[in-house]
Amino acid sequence: YVTSLKDHSDSAEIWQRLGLVYYLDNRYEQAAPALQRATELNPSLWGANLFLGISEYRMAQFVRAQESVQAALKVNPDLPEGHLWMGSILMALGQREAATAELEKVPSVSSVAMDADYLLVQGYRSVAEDYYRKIQQSNVNSYRAHQLAAESFAWDGKFQNAILEYRKALQ
């Protein structure tokens, strides 16, 4: 592809293919510029945008990754991989609620559905823990704070601690 680009430097498809070769070889620092060039030449190449976003994600450039995956989803809004990676990016940016909403868009029959479900469980749990902390900070001795602590202990299999917290909630 590098040789082909000497004569066809304006070919978005060749840039995209070169970027994919680098991506598949886990050479994200080289994949990103090639895929970026492909998207500049032809913004409708959703694959170039998607793999650019994934490469940027792998390099911890989450804001740029978000923009690239959004561009892929603009061209192909029903792309399960796009929703999976957008959810992953939003999780990395700490936007858990937005991430779970994005991950819920992945169809259950998709090849990436199990990955999306795994991230959804992490996201739901993180969101629940965030709300628990807010409740606990507002009134650490409320029955609701003790109830949530009990449920958290039960979730972790710490049943004795859960029973103690439930008793505090009842008091």
Put simply, whether the predicted model's pTM sits higher than 0.75 gets the answer: yes
pLDDT per residue over 41-54, tens digit each? 999 999 999 999 99
pLDDT band at 86 (very low <50, low <70, confident <90, very high): very high
Q: What is the pLDDT of residues 102-131, one digit of tens each?
A: 999 999 999 999 999 999 998 888 887 787
pLDDT tens for residues 132-147? Answer: 778 777 777 888 888 8
pLDDT at 136 (0 to 100): 73
Nearest-angstrom CA–CA distance, 171 and 169: 5
| Helix or strand holding residue 10 (H, E) | none
For residue 15, the model assigns a pLDDT of 96
Match 């992945």 to its residue by tokens: 106
Q: How far apart are CA 16 and CA 161, in angstroms?
A: 55
